[in-house]
């Protein structure tokens, strides 16, 4: 099972970042083979909200052909509506039609010339699966990419669930099962909209990010074949008597995930291996002759 675990706080400006607000949406993890799951969140009646707030909530999603994740929600006890769950969006966004229909804004509220924007508003209640969120800040305008997605899929897509929603939770995304898991965290939400001008116009600093293994694995990986459509990273060489060798890894295997993290690029492999400590038993998922296998590797001291 391949999972992507997100921290409770995603740095503002990651992914598409602030520019996604106007220019487009960030797609889900590249390399996912888009297909409609059996539990696709069609516009069906949502489950009744639980009276007890659960510590962990699992929510199904649908992966669009564009690699965007689609979830079904209720807004102020009305709906259901379809929203894109966007890991690169700094805000949660609703279109004008759904905002007026749910009472988020008045139908007579003035609109600007740019995307018929009505500005900031608050959703009193947003329900996704059994998860109920109160007082969710949103921005109301008609995003052009949502219109394009709606036209392409033939289904009305009403908005974007962004940072102001998922920053409240530790979010785990299982791309194979088409399921998200949300666990509440204690995080004080900043007013990102008020900070946006300073972040866009303020001084820019170049940051370097170096990723490296924290322990010795004993293998060498090569460039994925097939680009973003590759199921993983090919293992070019396994060093004799290394942790990888003792784990049963072989040259020619395709590394699909390491420590529960999807590895679709060489950077992914280094990024995942930096959190694996020496002596820590770690699950490794590989493809060997087209068959998926799960092995256990115990990295050694060294790098």
Instruction: Give one DSSP letter per residue of 168-232, joined into a string.
Output: TEEEEEETTTTEEEEEE---PPP-HHHHHHHHHHS-----------SSB--EEE-PPTTGGG-SS
8 A C-beta contact, residue 86 and residue 71: no
pLDDT at 192: 56
- Residue spans per domain, the chain: 3-201, 219-297
pLDDT at 25: 52
Token pair for 19: 């520019």
Q: The CATH number of 3-201 is which of 3.30.460.80, 3.40.50.1820, 1.10.1510.10, 2.40.70.10?
A: 2.40.70.10
Residue count of the chain, please give it. 303
8 A C-beta contact, residue 126 and residue 136: yes
Q: What is the DSSP pairing of strand 69-75 with strand 219-221?
A: unpaired
pTM of the model: 0.52
**CA 126-129-130 angle, 5° bins:** 85
**Count of alpha carbons within 13 angstroms of residue 280, beta-carbon side:** 14
8 A C-beta contact, residue 286 and residue 254: yes
Torsion sign across C-alpha atoms 244, 245, 247, 249:
positive
pLDDT at 197: 61
Burial 9-33 (b: 16+ CB within 10 A, else e): ebeeeebbbbebbeebbbbbbebbe
**Which residue ranges of the chain lie beneath pLDDT 70?**
1-54, 107, 109-118, 187-209, 227-229, 303
Superfamily of domain 219-297: PDZ domain (2.30.42.10)
**pLDDT of 236-280, one tens digit each?**
999 999 999 999 999 999 999 998 888 888 888 888 888 888 999
Residue 154's Cα: distance from chain center in Å? 24
pLDDT at 31: 37
pLDDT at 121: 87
């Amino acid at each position: 099972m391949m999972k992507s675990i997100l921290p409770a706080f995603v740095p503002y400006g990651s992914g598409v970042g602030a520019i996604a607000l106007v220019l487009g949406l960030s797609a889900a993890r590249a390399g996912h083979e888009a297909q409609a799951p059996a539990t696709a969140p069609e516009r069906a009646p949502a489950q009744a909200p639980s009276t007890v707030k659960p510590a962990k909530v699992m929510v199904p999603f649908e992966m669009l052909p564009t690699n965007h994740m689609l979830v079904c929600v209720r807004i102020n006890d009305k709906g259901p509506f379809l929203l894109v769950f966007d890991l690169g969006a700094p805000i949660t966004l609703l279109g004008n039609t759904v905002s007026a229909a749910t009472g988020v804004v008045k139908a007579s509220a003035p609109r600007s010339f740019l995307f018929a924007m009505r500005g900031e508003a608050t959703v009193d209640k947003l329900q996704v699966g059994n998860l109920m969120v109160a007082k969710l800040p949103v921005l109301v305008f008609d995003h052009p990419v949502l219109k394009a997605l709606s036209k392409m899929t033939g289904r009305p897509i009403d908005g974007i669930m962004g940072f102001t929603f998922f920053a409240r939770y530790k979010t785990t995304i299982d791309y194979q099962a088409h399921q998200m898991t949300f666990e509440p965290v204690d995080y004080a939400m900043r007013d990102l909209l008020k900070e946006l001008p300073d972040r866009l116009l303020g001084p820019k600093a170049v940051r370097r990010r170096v990723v490296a293994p924290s322990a010795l694995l004993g293998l060498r990986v090569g460039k994925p074949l097939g680009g973003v459509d590759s199921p993983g990273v090919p293992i070019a060489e396994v060093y004799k008597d290394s942790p990888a060798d003792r784990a049963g890894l072989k040259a020619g295997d395709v590394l699909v995930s390491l420590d529960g993290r999807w590895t679709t690029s060489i950077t992914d492999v280094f990024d995942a291996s930096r959190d694996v400590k020496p002596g820590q038993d770690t699950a490794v998922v590989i493809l060997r002759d087209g068959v998926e296998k799960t092995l256990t590797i115990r990295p050694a001291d060294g790098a």
